Amino acid sequence: AQTVTQSQPEMSVQEAETVTLSCTYDTSESDYYLFWYKQPPSRQMILVIRQEAYKQQNATENRFSVNFQKAAKSFSLKISDSQLGDAAMYFCAYRSGGAQKLVFGQGTRLTINP
Amino acid sequence: DTGVSQDPRHKITKRGQNVTFRCDPISEHNRLYWYRQTLGQGPEFLTYFQNEAQLEKSRLLSDRFSAERPKGSFSTLEIQRTEQGDSAMYLCASSPTGGASFETQYFGPGTRLLVL
């Protein structure tokens, strides 16, 4: 079974600085998708960024970018110019190309210090 | 696009009672998913539907749990004879089967269940 590991339960960063959240996963498959979701306190989970495993180019969405290292099975999220609104739980998730369910990591709580 | 909605948002019940939650997906989304999230953890998959067909169920979904999507639109998740271990946030998500948002699941706000 696939597993997703987020080794940083908590992270903090100064406003306007850059922070990187780590995620590793275990799979024997070659076709899969990776996602980062953000869950603000008492609010619903929203997609931050996604990466298709067959794409070599790292995905970017404005201030958010990933470092996808397929051989190392690593999928880190970089947040540039951190803003107070970025404070949330961040979940890394894996989806097999042949299945529908998402497998989530344990989450990283990100705090932004003003 | 009004997003995924869930009702109720909060439910407190006594052990042994039955509860039912409702999820309304984004209107054009064929796929609908249920997840359970306990405090401080990531969501865990429970089950998913494509239209009205329930195509996958997790081992977490014991016999006391049943999910339906009778007309391929909204879905209900029922828990019979609730136990304290059922206390969690129950999340619903939906996704399209094509288009630019293909493969992305959109989550609702969740129903937080507390079993006393």
- Asked if A93 lies within 8 A of B42 by C-beta distance, the reply is yes
- Asked if B103 lies within 8 A of A93 by C-beta distance, the reply is no
Identify the CA nearest to B29 among candidates B112, B92, B109: B92
How are beta strands B5-7 and B19-24 bridged, if at all?
antiparallel
Q: State residue B87's pLDDT score.
A: 97
Question: Is residue B39 pLDDT above 60, yes or no?
Answer: yes
Q: In angstroms, what separates the C-alpha of A77 from chain B's closest C-alpha?
A: 17
The CA distance from A39 to A35, in Å, is 13
Residues A41-86 pLDDT 10s: 888 899 999 999 988 899 999 999 999 999 999 999 999 999 999 9
Report yes or no: A49 at the B interface, CB cutoff 8 Å: no
C-alpha dihedral sign at A51, A55, A56, A60: negative
Report yes or no: A79 at the B interface, CB cutoff 8 Å: no
Q: Is the peptide bond before B8 cis (omega within 30 degrees of 0)?
A: yes
Residues of chain B with pLDDT > 70, as a percent, come to 94
Residues 6+ apart with CB under 8 A from A76: A20, A21, A22, A23, A66, A67
Q: State residue B1's pLDDT score.
A: 55
Q: State residue B102's pLDDT score.
A: 60
Residues 6+ apart with CB under 8 A from A45: A37, A38, A39, A91, B43, B91, B107
Q: Within 13 Å and on the Cβ side, how many CA atoms surround B89?
A: 22
Report yes or no: A4 at the B interface, CB cutoff 8 Å: yes
Residue A37's Cα: distance from chain center in Å?
6
Residues B81-104 pLDDT 10s: 999 999 999 999 999 876 655 678
- Asked if B107 lies within 8 A of A106 by C-beta distance, the reply is no
- Asked if B42 lies within 8 A of A33 by C-beta distance, the reply is no
Tell me if A103 sits within 8 A of A4, measured CB to CB: yes
Q: Which of B51, B107, B112 to mutate to test the interface with A (most CBs of A within 10 A)?
A: B107
- Asked if A104 lies within 8 A of B105 by C-beta distance, the reply is no
- Asked if B103 lies within 8 A of A95 by C-beta distance, the reply is yes
